[in-house]
Amino acid sequence: MRRLGDVLIEQNVMSAESLDAAFASKPRGVLLGDWLVSQKLLSTLQLGRALAEQFAVPYIDIDATAVDAQIARLLPEDFARTRQSGAIKVENRQLILAMVAPDDIETIAEAELMTGYQIKPAVALAEDIEALNCRVYDDRSVARQTIVDMKLAELRELQASGDDVNPSIVSVDQEDAPVVRLVQAILSGAATAGASDVHLEPFKPEMRVRYRVDGELQQVMTIPNHIEESVISRIKVMADMDTTENRRPQDGHLNVYENGKRVGFRVSGIPTVDGQKLVLRLLDEGGKTFSLDGLGMMPRNLASLREMIDKPHGMFVVTGPTGSGKSTTLYAVLQHLNGDDRNIVTVEDPVEYRLPGINQVQSDSEFGMGFANALKYIMRQDPDVIMVGEIRDSETATTAVQAALTGHLMISTLHTNDAVGAVQRLSDLGVDNFKIAGSLLGSVAQRLLRRVCENCKMPVAPNRNLLDALDPDETISRSVDFFRGEGCKKCLGTGFSGRLPIFEIMPITPEITMAIESGVPHSKLYEMSIAAGMVGLANAGLEQAVAGRTSLEEVYFKTSGDRRRTESKPIIGGSREIDTVCV
């Protein structure tokens, strides 16, 4: 078989000199054709034609959306992915098999045994085959196909019986096996997509299924109403919930295994006018680890945080809206403090992750173990560190502050817009200012910003209106390029892939302590915190935008409540030489 380079020279696509230069710069382990395309020395069409000439087989420019998924799934997923092959179509009892290496006799022989068809090999690019397999074996695709299969089976049964039966009336028993596959596909698809929540919402005429990915809800499928009850019942059975109770809210928990890793789901169900609505929160119990270094803090923030939580007693709070990553920060702090010389007790609602060596208590108001009561009992357990999942009411706030003042390290969360707002929130809950001043070690506010997709990232000129709103003092050069994602297959057209955190840490200096005790207003306390070195959420977000990790629009919309004009020193110039974030 001829070499690819020789074919390219024969086809007058490249000269021998340019080919030698490209080959010399090619990294080890990268295929020559892929390297030439990546360096824009060759088009994908030219590469395909050269490969077809090299292997003496047809070249297929695969359109993944045009391939029949049922034919493609004639090959098992593991086989198709590991052998870099994909079943394209059947012609005259021959199965056309797209392959990266169409001279692989062993793969061809095994494919014939598996499918029962004579294999006709064709050559295709690796990225096209991977795109095909991702679409074909994607769990959402399987789920949609399961629904279609259920509808077809129902129609066949009605036609066979000859009865004029309402097609919406179908026995649950008939659907048991397909429903099991459908629910498994929904749960596995959520884990594969990196979703944080799954929403099953009953509407007429179809139930809507949505995943929350990177903080944004995305619809993935709809389920016909006549299947809806079976799907809900299946999830309730798996979560050990009462399948006969549809009028009261219920909670449950279930586990599935995805790629050998256990993924837990916390299930919450409420009745709506159209049926039962379920929300499943993903808990990656098998692979979740917590550490301060893994939070993604800038080194300056990490040093401030360590200084606060390494003190023997006092109160440390994390603030932010729901879904901003507060629980992850709390668990990382607990893991940092965990040791044989400390008795750490938590009270949570619910306990989402199990932390070895830490005593975790499930809050349960029905049995007298709400946050406030649980704190009173924990105080009798000789604790060194206490974590309360959330300070929600006056009694919990008063008890928590009292624990911090009596020699315990108290850690908790509050729902406020910024770090300084923790002081006002505790005051609103009835805690005296002098107690807040005497107990508070520090406050952290955080947000999660969507990360620009690296695959389709492109530089753009900044939106001057947004930049002026976020940076009124012009500490950032207006000539700096920002970035956004164009939208591609890898990010599902959103332009974002993954998330990164930003933090605002309020320091507690002697001057700020005196100001808290004196009851100064929020705005004045914010100005004092900035003067003491605090970097606001908006500026923290701008650092990430200038570094090309997120977009200017994302920073604005996630921190738009934090657009105060401050006299802080410039923290960003025209350079991107800023601290590296590890998330």
The SS3 call for residue 420 is coil
Mean pLDDT on 481-499: 80
Model pLDDT for residues 543-566, shown as the tens digit of each residue: 899 888 999 889 988 887 444 433
With CA atoms as reference, report the closest residue to 87 among 121, 56, 116: 121
The amino acid present at 77, given as its one-letter code, is E
Model pLDDT for residues 55-83, shown as the tens digit of each residue: 888 988 887 767 877 788 888 888 998 89
Q: Are 318 and 297 within 8 A, CB to CB? A: no
The SS3 call for residue 339 is coil
The SS3 call for residue 441 is strand
Q: Are 249 and 268 within 8 A, CB to CB? A: yes
Using 50, 70 and 90 to split pLDDT, how confident is the model at 140?
Answer: low
* Strands 496-506 and 261-272, sheet pairing: unpaired
At 331, list the tokens: 């668990």
Strand partners, 219: 210
With CA atoms as reference, report the closest residue to 388 among 348, 430, 441: 348
- pTM comes to 0.64
* Strands 314-319 and 409-414, sheet pairing: parallel
Q: Is pLDDT of 166 > 60?
A: no
Using 50, 70 and 90 to split pLDDT, how confident is the model at 85?
Answer: very high
Q: Which of 49-53, 153-157, 468-472, 550-554 has the lowest mean pLDDT?
A: 153-157
Q: Are 276 and 246 within 8 A, CB to CB? A: yes
Work out the burial of residue 61: count CB atoms within 10 Å of its CB; fewer than 13 is exposed, 13-18 middle, 19 or more buried. Answer: exposed
Per-residue pLDDT, 434: 94
Q: Which of 123-132, 409-418, 451-460 is the most confident on average?
A: 409-418
Mean pLDDT on 122-133: 87
Strand partners, 499: 450
The SS3 call for residue 213 is strand
Q: Are 403 and 388 within 8 A, CB to CB? A: no
Q: What's the DSSP call for residue 294?
A: G
Mean pLDDT on 414-433: 92
In 243-394 the beta strands, taken as DSSP E runs, fall at 250-258, 261-272, 275-283, 314-319, 344-348, 359-362, 385-388
Q: Is pLDDT of 284 > 80?
A: no
Cα first-last separation, the chain: 47
Q: Are 283 and 265 within 8 A, CB to CB? A: yes
Q: Is pLDDT of 274 > 90?
A: no
Q: For the chain, how many residues are written?
A: 583
Per-residue pLDDT, 438: 93
Mean pLDDT on 384-398: 91
Largest Cα separation within the chain, whole Å, is 87
The SS3 call for residue 99 is strand
Strand partners, 283: 264
Mean pLDDT on 37-60: 83
Q: Is pLDDT of 573 > 50?
A: no
In 12-93 the beta strands, taken as DSSP E runs, fall at 85-91
Mean pLDDT on 209-231: 85
Per-residue pLDDT, 414: 92
Give the separation between CA 317 and CA 419, rounded to whole angstroms: 9
Q: Is pLDDT of 582 > 80?
A: no
Model pLDDT for residues 492-516, shown as the tens digit of each residue: 677 888 889 999 999 999 999 999 9
Strand partners, 262: 257
Quickly list DSSP for 499-510. EEEEEEEE---H
- Between 140 and 134, the higher pLDDT residue: 134
- Between 569 and 407, the higher pLDDT residue: 407
Q: Are 485 and 380 within 8 A, CB to CB? A: no
Per-residue pLDDT, 146: 56
Q: Locate tokens 């799954």: which residue?
A: 198
Q: Is pLDDT of 575 > 50?
A: no
Q: Is pLDDT of 299 > 80?
A: yes
The SS3 call for residue 440 is strand
Q: Which of 192-201, 247-256, 259-268 has the lowest mean pLDDT?
A: 259-268
The continuous run of DSSP H or E covering 373 comes out as: helix 371-378
Neighbouring C-beta atoms of residue 158, cutoff 10 Å: 15
Per-residue pLDDT, 173: 44
Q: Is pLDDT of 128 > 80?
A: yes
Work out the burial of residue 114: count CB atoms within 10 Å of its CB; fewer than 13 is exposed, 13-18 middle, 19 or more buried. Answer: middle
Per-residue pLDDT, 6: 81
Give the separation between CA 125 and CA 107, rounded to whole angstroms: 17
Strand partners, 361: 347
Per-residue pLDDT, 530: 92
- Between 397 and 92, the higher pLDDT residue: 397
CA atoms in the 13 A half-sphere facing the CB of 405: 14
Using 50, 70 and 90 to split pLDDT, how confident is the model at 297?
Answer: confident
184-213 burial, b if ≥16 CB within 10 A, otherwise e? bbbbbbbbbbebbbbbbbbeeebbbbbbbb
Give the separation between CA 228 and CA 278, rounded to whole angstroms: 11
Mean pLDDT on 456-482: 84
Using 50, 70 and 90 to split pLDDT, how confident is the model at 164?
Answer: very low
With CA atoms as reference, report the closest residue to 202 among 278, 253, 148: 278
In 174-215 the beta strands, taken as DSSP E runs, fall at 197-202, 206-213
**Cα–Cα separations (whole angstroms), residue 513 to 6, 421, 440, 444, 503:** 76, 15, 9, 16, 21
Mean pLDDT on 96-103: 90
Using 50, 70 and 90 to split pLDDT, how confident is the model at 447?
Answer: very high
Model pLDDT for residues 169-180, shown as the tens digit of each residue: 333 444 446 788
Per-residue pLDDT, 162: 55
- Between 70 and 419, the higher pLDDT residue: 419
* Strands 275-283 and 197-202, sheet pairing: antiparallel
